[in-house]
A = this chain, B = another copy of it.
Amino acid sequence: MEYRVKEVADLAGVSVRTLHHYHEIGLLVPASTSSSGYRLYTEDNLERLQQILFFKELGFSLSGVKEILEKPDFDRKAALTTHKELLVKKRARLDEIIETVEKTLSSIEGGIKMADKDMFKGFDMEEIERHQKKYSEEAKQKYGRKMVEAVEEKTSQYGIDDWETINAMTNSIYKKIGDRMEHGPADPAVQEEVAKWRQLITDHFYECTTDIFRGLGDLYVMDERFTKNIDRHKEGLAAFLREAMHVYCENHEK
């Protein structure tokens, strides 16, 4: 019994073009050809295709598959062994990447800038290190040294659930403040939320002195990454929040 391209394609779940391609590169040559030039595949061809798809699915390149199928089991074993190590590494990296994505998501939602360290997890650290250092110093000037270090230390422990809790609280505070913007930054309800905000930072990130808190307020206006994010809740919220935080600091310094 012989099969033509489309039949084989449907049987194996690949495209006709793929079979043409495999023929072109000599990976799967049909057993015979009809008088009119049609490719005719046999059961043996199907079996080989099966094998090809198997190794391909394991992530081997077509040339790799070709080699493997040409060589005895002994070489297959070596190929599979080294390949397995590759796969395991790949998975480890995937795990880190997924974690990073999750944190990035959380940080976007909460308007909290993720620690630089996390931003580069899974990257080629050696190559990137020099720039990283520079960036780090810049951050230190802007945000204050204590903050960066403390955040790095604390947040490294957090899991997804922690981030989600923090986000929920942050969002709640932003919303309440946004809803009372017309009452001005000194509004008691606003000031109450601002106090909660400072507490949240102290609890989850670093000890937030009034000096730092004031600087943080400035940051919300000066750094567009923050501004954009905060203003997503309500237009002008970042600027308003900054005023409210300054008012708060005035009242809480002895």
**A residues engaging B (CB < 8 A)?**
10-13, 46-47, 50, 53-54, 57-59, 72-74, 76-77, 80-81, 83-84, 87-88, 90-91, 94-95, 97-98, 100-102, 104-105, 108-109, 119-120, 122-124, 126-128, 130-131, 135, 228-229, 232
Contacts and interface: CB of A to CB of B under 8 A. Distances in A.
B91 A95 contact: yes
A11 B119 contact: no
Given A50-B131, A57-B123, A131-B50, A81 B98 contact: no
B88 A98 contact: yes
B84 A46 contact: no
A77 B227 CA distance: 16
B72 A228 contact: yes
A64 to B, nearest CB: 13
A112 B59 CA distance: 23
Nearest to A121: B57
A218 to B, nearest CB: 20
A220 to B, nearest CB: 14
A57 B122 CA distance: 8
A110 to B, nearest CB: 11
Contacts of A131: 11-12, 46, 50
Among A80, A101, A108, A232, residue most surrounded by chain B Cβ atoms (within 10 Å) = A101
Contacts of A94: 87, 90-91, 94
15 contacts: A10-B130, A12-B127, A53-B123, A54-B119, A72-B232, A73-B228, A77-B108, A77-B109, A80-B101, A81-B105, A83-B101, A84-B102, A87-B94, A87-B97, A88-B98
B97 A59 contact: yes
Nearest to A54: B119
Given A123-B57, A124-B13, A131-B12, A84 B105 contact: yes
Contacts of A123: 53-54, 57
Given A58-B97, A228-B72, A108 B80 contact: yes
A74 B105 contact: no
Contacts of A120: 54
Contacts of A98: 84, 87-88, 91
Contact of A100 (B10, B58, B97, B232): B58
